[in-house]
Amino acid sequence: MNINDILDRSKKAFFKYGKSSGEQRATLLETIASEIENLGDSLVKAIEEECNFVEGRILGERGRTCGQLRMFAQVARSGSHLGIKKDAAMPDRVPMPRPDLRKINIPLGPIIVFGASNFPLAYSTAGGDTASALAAGCTVILKGHPAHAHTSELVASAISKALDKVGMDQDIFIHVASSDFETGKALVQHPFTAGVGFTGSVSGGYALASYTRDRKNPIPVFTEMGSTNPVIYLNGAPSEEVKSRANMLAGAITLGAGQFCTNPGLIFGLKSEEFTTFYTSLSENISQIQGAKMLNHNIQKNYLAKMDHALQQKGIQLISNVTDTDDELIAVPSLAKTEGHTFINNPVLHEEVFGPYSLIVEFESQDQLEQALHMIDGQLTCSFLANEAILKENSSLIDIAIHKAGRLIFNGVPTGVEVCDSMVHGGPSPATSDSRFTAVGSDAILRWLRPVCYQNFPTSLLPKELQD
């Protein structure tokens, strides 16, 4: 594999594609979506074999993937991402005249995208990073994830067919099938690379960041890494609502064998009879949910290792009814409990356990709960299970949470990330590497753009969008 050749081809393709119209990019994205749908049963079968997903999950993720491709087509067509600003010349202004100034966002260049292990479609080959980068006018080099290599190749073939149908250069999108770390490092460190998109582990994200620090010229690296997505339970609900909340949360913890970056891994509450009823009901619900197969052996192995490490910590009690299974890929849902002071004094308990596991933390006081919330790292989400009046009385928790997470949720669960204009899927490190941006929603396109100002340029030499 010749990395120099790959980046050279991508760079050459970028100089033309970066000047394409929003309409041309929109047509490409819509055609990619149609070609993915045209893969039909072959795509479904590939994902079933590689990822242990049921058909419903596959069809749902395919719908989301094609939906966000079409959403970014609308963004490209509208030009809303261009951030156009115009300040007319003021030659007679005193004491100094003002020149004619016009600003527009332009694409960065070739972008390296790493496929995610847990989303073979929505966060991989034609996922959100690829779709938003193509919408911005960037070329994409996709490093497929080895956990679903055949799926990645199928989707890459759909993109290739779409490029051919719209008459665009095949090098606008280049698929790299490699399982070694050195290939990823070489792609990121190549001087023609203009940006990086990654969804995965904290260690993987930090490794990519370290690669860019060794570059002569820095580039933006947008990594989505780890999150425990704390859920804060506030007392004051009627008994039937307590059990309803427990049932809702049990579903979120076990959804998809817990293999979501938004899986609720921490549950905070004040010691009380109501909170005891809540987590007892939660434990009962979880113990009745059958374990599901994880995507692959590595993910299942890491889940067991991280969970066992957490459960071995002093002061941790396993409260769910965990049973053994003969299938080594099955992830049995688990719920543990600890006291507030134990959690505060042991950073190991703050770490993400990627799978259907959650930790109940019971606090003695509001001050202790707030102390714990201050201590945890950056998060994608923070949820509140509470009545409106109760949460209003405890608004200090919101004041802390807003600086900890990218999305605050009221009486809901963090799983199920809507793809829309107002979504923020990001947060302070280590949730993401740059909390100013989102990886989901139309604003994800802003990651692959930079502003340029034209001063006193003749109209004929301005980009079409800046011309009067």
Could you read off the pLDDT tens digit of each residue along the chain, which spans 468 residues?
799 999 999 999 999 999 999 999 999 999 999 999 999 999 999 999 999 898 999 999 999 999 999 999 999 999 999 999 999 999 999 999 999 999 999 999 999 999 999 999 999 999 999 999 999 999 999 999 999 999 999 999 999 999 999 999 999 999 999 888 899 999 999 999 999 999 999 999 999 989 988 899 999 999 999 899 999 999 998 888 999 999 999 999 999 999 999 999 999 999 999 999 999 999 999 999 888 889 888 898 999 999 999 999 999 999 986 555 667 788 889 999 999 999 999 999 999 999 999 999 999 999 999 999 999 999 999 999 999 999 999 999 999 999 999 999 999 999 999 999 999 999 999 999 999 999 999 999 999 999 999 999 999 999 999 998
Q: Which of 224, 351, 352, 362 is catalytic?
A: 224
Tally of CB atoms within 10 A around 305: 11
pLDDT of residue 69: 98
Tally of CB atoms within 10 A around 422: 10
pLDDT of residue 325: 61
Residue 421: φ, ψ to 5°: -65, -35
224 belongs to the catalytic site: yes
Give the C-alpha separation, 150 to 45, whole Å: 10
Crossing angle of helices 41-51 and 149-165, rounded to 10°: 150
Domain locations in the chain as residue ranges: 3-225+432-466, 231-410
Measured between alpha carbons, how far is residue 219 from residues 134, 208, 212, 225, 435 in Å? 18, 11, 7, 18, 16
pLDDT of residue 115: 95
Global confidence as pTM: 0.95
Give the C-alpha separation, 248 to 214, whole Å: 46
Distance linking the first and last C-alpha atoms of the chain: 47
Crossing angle of helices 55-78 and 22-38, rounded to 10°: 170
261 belongs to the catalytic site: yes
What superfamily would CATH give domain 3-225+432-466? Aldehyde Dehydrogenase; Chain A, domain 1 (3.40.605.10)
pLDDT of residue 331: 87
Query: Positive or negative, the Cα torsion across 372, 378, 379, 384?
Result: positive
Give the C-alpha separation, 447 to 219, whole Å: 11
Residues with Cβ within 8 Å of residue 50, at least 6 apart in sequence: 120, 147, 148, 149, 150, 151
355: left (phi over 0), alpha (psi -120 to 50) or beta: left
Q: Which of 261, 339, 352, 382 is catalytic?
A: 261
Contact 197, 108 (CB under 8 A): no
Of the CATH numbers 3.40.120.10, 3.30.70.560, 1.10.760.10, 3.40.309.10, which one belongs to the domain with range 231-410?
3.40.309.10
| Beta strand 85-87 pairing with 101-107 | antiparallel
